[in-house]
């Protein structure tokens, strides 16, 4: 794999999560791809077959796959501005179900608020370790 990448002029990295030099959006899409049951296990018959498969994948990813980071709506719904209405409807359905059967809800239900900004590798606050001082005897 490394030799093929070098031959194609692709720089490889050995970066850790959240410290990627790669395109995080491509990395996220690749992870989703890896765990799809439809991932081919055999080589494609030809270039056209590979292109058709990728075209179908991109259509699924954008029009059918509900992304957790944007409230389980599709990217197409998000970009078309349909996500707010969908999320409001889901919140209403959850609230009505909670009122109808409150003992079923042992904890806070999923929040269906609109997500303004999406980050694949959000900054995490650094936890400062307490400074330990040794007592001299």
Q: Which of 60, 87, 61, 85 is nearest to 72 (CA)?
A: 87
Tens digits of residue pLDDT in 41-61 = 899 999 999 999 989 988 998
| pLDDT, the chain, mean | 81
Query: Tokens at residue 8, please?
Result: 């194609």
Residue-level pLDDT at 137:
47
Range 89-92 contact pairs with CB under 8 angstroms and sequence separation of 24 or more: none
Query: Tokens at residue 89, please?
Result: 């409807």
The pTM of this model reads: 0.63
**Residue 102 gets which letter from DSSP?**
G
User: Which ranges of the chain does DSSP label H, i.e. alpha helix?
Assistant: 2-7, 24-34, 47-63, 75-79, 83-100
Tens digits of residue pLDDT in 79-95 = 999 999 999 999 999 88
The mean pLDDT value for 8-20 works out to 66
Domain boundaries, the chain: 21-65, 77-106
């Amino acid at each position: 794999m490394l030799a093929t990448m070098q031959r194609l002029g692709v720089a490889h990295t050995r970066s850790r999560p959240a410290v990627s030099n790669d395109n995080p959006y491509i990395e996220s899409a690749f992870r989703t791809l890896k765990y799809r049951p439809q991932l081919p296990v055999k080589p494609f018959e030809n270039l056209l077959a590979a292109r058709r498969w990728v075209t179908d994948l991109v259509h699924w990813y954008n029009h059918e796959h509900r992304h957790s980071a944007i409230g389980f709506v599709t990217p197409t719904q998000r970009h078309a501005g349909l996500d707010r209405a969908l999320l409001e409807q889901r919140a209403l359905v959850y609230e009505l179900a909670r009122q109808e059967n409150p003992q079923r809800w042992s904890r806070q239900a999923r929040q269906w608020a609109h997500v303004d900004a999406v980050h694949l590798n959000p900054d995490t606050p650094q936890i400062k370790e307490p400074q330990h001082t040794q007592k001299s005897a």
